[in-house]
Amino acid sequence: MQKRAPSRLTRGLFIERDLERLTDLLTRFKPFLSRRGSTGSLVAFDRITEQTLSEIFGASSEWLEAYQYAKFGEAAGLVNLPEEAQESGAQDLERESLQQRKRVLESAMAELEKHRAGNGKRSRRSAKSAIRVADYMSPEVRSIRVDATLKEAGRLLQKLKVGSLLVDDGRRYIGIITDTDLSRKAVARGLDPNTTTVKTCMSRPILTIEDDEPLEAAVKMMKENGVRHLAITEDGTIIGVLSVSDLLRYYSNIT
């Protein structure tokens, strides 16, 4: 496990100034949440925000990780959903990504406020290591048959409001299909969603992690493999799914 370098927060430096910096970031972020949009660049804002979080909390802090994960939703896209749902689906995903960014910044501010009030003495590192994968996984295992079409997969993802489906062949789970698979593999290759089967674009093998592993191990596995979903197992049997959204829910609760 990577050792976290001491940040200026852990040394108790510049809390008032850092609170002002985060307040300013939230103020500058408001136009992006507005339906009217912003004349600024979201990419540039993300770069400044990540640099600020790194300077305040450390380059390997959970706050920086949380903000980076918050950007995933916007990048994934829902371009392979049924035509009537594509526009609204993409907009919903983008706005959820923006809302997640906002929640991370607000939680980071709450952490600074806690330190300013003298209540930040407990070790968050110890608290993190006690959190298990099972504490934040989704216990509902959603699946689709291997011979279903990509259009059927897109509709099911939209109906269930999830980002992934396990793929089964009638006997066992053999892969996973995600919204990212639909956009990057199907659309990029010009595949017909009405005739192309899930098997063509699914990812395999399924990446799994045991339910009693620390949550940090799941975060590391996602980052190393560049994925947004993990299947959770108990004694080798899949019992749930952990997604980037679940990680963001965890990060929102650690203040």
What integer is the mean pLDDT of 127-134?
72
pLDDT category at 98 given cuts 50, 70, 90 is confident
CATH fold, domain 133-252, is: CBS-domain (3.10.580)
135-165 pLDDT per residue, tens = 899 988 999 999 999 999 999 999 998 889 9
pLDDT exceeds cutoff 80 at 110: yes
Handedness of CA 108, 114, 115, 117 (dihedral sign): positive
What integer is the mean pLDDT of 120-140?
69
160-184 pLDDT per residue, tens = 988 899 999 988 999 999 988 888 8
Strands (E), the chain: 143-145, 164-168, 173-178, 208-210, 229-234, 237-243
* Residue 164 pLDDT: 93
What integer is the mean pLDDT of 205-212?
93
Residues of the chain with CATH 3.10.580.10: 133-252
pLDDT exceeds cutoff 70 at 2: no
pLDDT category at 86 given cuts 50, 70, 90 is very low
* Residue 145 pLDDT: 96
Q: Which pTM value belongs to this model?
A: 0.61
Q: 89-123 b/e with 16+ CB inside 10 Å = b?
A: bbeebbeebbebbbbbbebbbebbeebeeeebeee
* Residue 242 pLDDT: 94
Handedness of CA 43, 31, 157, 107 (dihedral sign): positive
* Residue 84 pLDDT: 37
31-82 pLDDT per residue, tens = 887 755 556 788 999 999 999 999 998 888 888 888 888 876 533 333 333 4
pLDDT category at 92 given cuts 50, 70, 90 is low
* Residue 24 pLDDT: 92
pLDDT exceeds cutoff 50 at 90: no
